[in-house]
Amino acid sequence: MSFGRFSIIGIGRAAFFAIGCTLSNPAEDLKYLFPDMTSYKEDLKEFPKLADGKAQFQALRERLGSDLDPIYETYETPYTIYYVFKNSKKIGLVHGVNVPGKGGVIQVFLSVDPASAQVKKFFFQRLESSAADQLRSKEFRNQFDGVSLADFYKHDYYVAAKSKTSVDKIAKITPPKIDPSGRQDYDATIRGIRKNLLLLDFFVYDRKFEPFFERAKQKAKQ
Amino acid sequence: MFQFTRFIGLAIKNLRRRMIRTALTISGVALAVAVAVSLGGFMLGYKGAIDKSIEMLGFQVMIMAKGCPYEAATMMLKGGTGLIYLPSDTYDKVKSDPDIESITPIFVGIAQKEGSGIRDEASQEKSFTIISGIDAPSFMTMKPWMKFKGGPGFEGGRWFSAGSKDEVVIGFEAAEYEQRKVGDIFYASITPAGSMTPVRHEFKVVGILERTGTQDDGTVFMPIDTAREYFNRPNQLTILGIKLKEFNQFKMHEFESRWLKLPEVQVVGLQQVKNTLVALVATAQTMIAAVAAIAVIVALIGVINTILMSVYERTGEIGIMKALGARRRDIFELIWLETLVICLLGALLGCLLAMLGTGAVEKAIKSLANLGVNGSIVNITPGVLGYAVLGAVILGFLGGLYPAWRAASMRPVDAIREGAV
């Protein structure tokens, strides 16, 4: 039997676990994504270990715009960021998150450009859905190439401003042709990509896209 | 007492003079003891695991299709894939037996799950899950300890309604692997008997069970009629689990002889299952015991060799000790104590190694063979450790006899002369 790998960190004696999202076979998977890779490094991030963890977690919820799952998106959930190297040069950054879908957890992974934080490749590790084939299709996934967290914030801004523009990359994304039963998993996927980019912005990029969020927030208040 | 303490101090001092040799000898003893302790822990733990697994089945007797009793045993205890079915009217025939206190029919099938992985072809790689079709009320009569998990995401767990076509209850481990909560959808592709094409079904998870430490933890439960319909085996069953009003060898024999007349079934008592499993592992245990015995003998030879070498190297020294008034008995005790110290230290280190390595030993055994049980199979108790230390000390006493006698028998003049050469 094969199952997606997930890490469990026990918190206390009670049956309470924080379930993270890691690659099933990091060495193989990363080599598949980056054939030039010579080494990789794992960096485990957890909100409780941050000085302002509670505030950051609250900020994540606010920027995500939805409640967090009580099991798979808890304060204690660990996040593993994979840094990929070609000799001493950092050539990639890979990160996965769990998001609750209709058929259990969906594991949404992003490979981003270390310098620009733009998506280079989006893929699933675990996805059980009536729309699995459509969501896994390259046509759908390739639409996210080059997208960054700034694009999600900009999209929020344009939605608040009720304006349509050709620079809104998120608005241009075409959902795959799925029947209504798969819609929940499509929405979970989009939420997963946004959450993934948000966490990377928090943990790796020192919240460099924050001005875009503030702008969208101001617009929404108007 | 004072003299004994002094001798101990002297023995340790002598051993420390040849540190590397002493360390290597102690390591040899430690390894032998670790093997022996692990084996003892395995023998004890495996028996305990079988007892627990059988007890947690909830029934004492099962009726299943004729076949290998070992397959039957492992299928019930661990969940197997070699499925043979019996006609469902067996249930109607057997259920009115006057000796039966309770009976539950079970249908087991294997469903396909979508694979996971980051590659584009990952979804094509299928995994599998065990589906158990049950009659919830009678099943629960057998296993009253089964409880629904509570807490965030698991509230409101319940059994499916009898005629439900789209509800499942998931065992603890299956839910953890599948990452499901109450209310989630569970997808399973089932290939109906007689067909080559799997049909994908969508179920709602209505309950997640607490951990039981049995095969039930890895199982997905659904109503028996639904399971039979989806697997296209409407008139078949996998097992009948039975609890007798009075369970003893005589009653079991009576019951067995009544129902063995049915041509296609076998009646398996759980004592029989236990014996089958124990017998299967007994051969392996004997082999491991032989290896452990060899390891102990080699370690003992190593100890004798080390002490003898030490005696020969210290011939002159022993001669001087005797010349200064040491008695035969003093020399004997000193050398004997050195042997004892080596064996005792080796035993303690070996016990520590065995305790630290329990997980690894268990993993190795489980990877080598399907033992037919869930849960821990290596149980290192204080009793096992005590016997190991005692055994090592006794062997040390015996092993030290010859070198101690050899040293004690030296004549002072000869010893001093030989030592001076």
Q: Is B118 on the interface with A (CB under 8 A)?
A: yes
**The pLDDT value given to residue A15:** 38
Query: Which chain B residues are within 8 Å of A129, Cβ to Cβ?
Result: 187
DSSP string, B32-51: HHHHHHHHHHHHHHHHHHHH
Smallest Cα distance from A59 to chain B, Å: 22
Residue A218: band (very low, low, confident or very high) from pLDDT cuts 50, 70, 90: very high
CA A10 to chain centre: 23
Instruction: List, in order, residues 6 or more apart from B268 with CB less than 8 Å away.
Output: B61, B62, B63, B64, B69, B72, B73
Determine the residue of chain B that is closest to A17 in CA distance. Answer: B176
Q: Span B401-406, mean pLDDT?
A: 88
**The pLDDT value given to residue B369:** 66
Is A146 among the domain residues?
yes
**The pLDDT value given to residue B75:** 59
| Residues A79/A23, Cβ–Cβ less than 8 Å | no
User: Would you call B334 exposed, middle or buried from its count of C-beta atoms within 10 A (0-12, 13-18, 19+)?
Assistant: buried
Query: pLDDT tens, A141-181?
Result: 999 999 999 999 999 999 998 888 888 899 999 999 988 88
Has residue B254 got a pLDDT over 60? yes
Is A157 among the domain residues?
yes
Residue B266 to residue B68: CA distance in whole angstroms: 10
Give the range among A29-38, B57-66, B338-347 with minimum mean pLDDT.
B57-66
More confident site: B294 or B366: B294
Instruction: For residue A125, give the nearest of A136, A114, A115 by alpha carbon.
Output: A136
**The pLDDT value given to residue A17:** 52
Q: Span B414-418, mean pLDDT?
A: 71
**The pLDDT value given to residue A3:** 34
Residue B371: band (very low, low, confident or very high) from pLDDT cuts 50, 70, 90: low
Q: Is B185 on the interface with A (CB under 8 A)?
A: yes
Has residue B147 got a pLDDT over 60? yes
Q: Span A91-113, mean pLDDT?
A: 94
Q: Which pair of tokens denotes residue B9?
A: 């101090």
Give the range among A113-117, B111-115, B185-189 with minimum mean pLDDT.
B111-115
For chain A, what is the mean pLDDT? Answer: 88
Has residue B257 got a pLDDT over 60? yes
Smallest Cα distance from A211 to chain B, Å: 33
Smallest Cα distance from A160 to chain B, Å: 33
Residue B292: band (very low, low, confident or very high) from pLDDT cuts 50, 70, 90: confident
Query: Which chain A residues are within 8 Å of B119, Cβ to Cβ?
Result: 32
Is A187 among the domain residues?
yes
Q: Which of A7-16, B202-211, B410-419 has the highest mean pLDDT?
A: B202-211
Determine the residue of chain B that is closest to A101 in CA distance. Answer: B184
Q: Span B252-263, mean pLDDT?
A: 83
More confident site: B106 or B369: B106
Query: pLDDT tens, A80-89?
Result: 999 999 999 9
Is A191 among the domain residues?
yes
Shortest CB distance from B116 goes to which of A72, A125, A138?
A: A125
Give the range among A120-134, B35-49, B271-285 with minimum mean pLDDT.
B271-285
> Per the CB < 8 Å rule, is B116 touching A136?
no
β partners of residue B132 = B108, B221
User: Would you call A174 exposed, middle or buried from its count of C-beta atoms within 10 A (0-12, 13-18, 19+)?
Assistant: exposed
Instruction: For residue B216, give the nearest of B295, B132, B294 by alpha carbon.
Output: B132
**The pLDDT value given to residue B122:** 60
Residue A109 to residue A97: CA distance in whole angstroms: 6
Containing structural domain, residue A26: 8-221
Domain count, chain A: 1
User: Would you call B354 exposed, middle or buried from its count of C-beta atoms within 10 A (0-12, 13-18, 19+)?
Assistant: buried
**The pLDDT value given to residue A11:** 32
Q: What is the ipTM of this complex?
A: 0.74
**The pLDDT value given to residue A18:** 65
For chain B, what is the mean pLDDT? Answer: 84
**The pLDDT value given to residue A8:** 34
The position carrying tokens 């659904």 is B222
Question: Domain ranges in chain B?
Answer: 2-51+277-420, 85-237
β partners of residue B223 = B134
Give the range among A97-106, A144-153, B21-30, B360-369 with minimum mean pLDDT.
B360-369
Is A37 among the domain residues?
yes
**The pLDDT value given to residue B375:** 67
Query: Which chain A residues are within 8 Å of B156, Cβ to Cβ?
Result: none
Q: Which pair of tokens denotes residue B197?
A: 């094409």
Q: Span B214-222, mean pLDDT?
A: 90
Smallest Cα distance from B205 to chain A, Å: 10
Has residue B249 got a pLDDT over 80? no
Q: Is A138 on the interface with B (CB under 8 A)?
A: yes
